[in-house]
Amino acid sequence: MVAICPNLYIVPDAYFYVRNMPFAEEFVKAANSYMKYRMLFGTGYPIRGFEQCVENWSNRGLTPESLRLSLFENAKYLLNL
């Protein structure tokens, strides 16, 4: 993975999955393409509970690869785990 800004990650949390949130679809497009290695899952707590956040995140239309990256792999890479 080559990145122009290797220390920049996006955590859109509630802006990503709250219904009718402006630019939410743009986050989906970015997560499925050029930002797939830079998108991290965020809960948005206390707006919603953790389980509801994961469910909403998973239902936003991410490709299987982008979903896996945003929910786990990108954080794993960032934290050197």
pLDDT per residue over 31-44, tens digit each?
Answer: 999 899 999 998 87
**Residue 1 domain flag:** no
Residue 2 has pLDDT above 60, yes or no: no
| Residue given tokens 């955590």 in the structure block | 11
**Residue 8 domain flag:** no
- pLDDT value for 63: 96
In terms of Cα–Cα distance, which of 37, 38, 20, 33 is closest to 62? 33
**Residue 2 domain flag:** no
- pLDDT value for 12: 86
Overall domain count for the chain: 1
**Rounded to the nearest 5°, which phi and psi values hold at 38?**
-125, 10
Name the residue with higher pLDDT: 17 or 56: 56
Residue 68 has pLDDT above 60, yes or no: yes
- pLDDT value for 1: 52
Residue 74 has pLDDT above 90, yes or no: yes
Domain coverage including residue 34 = 14-78
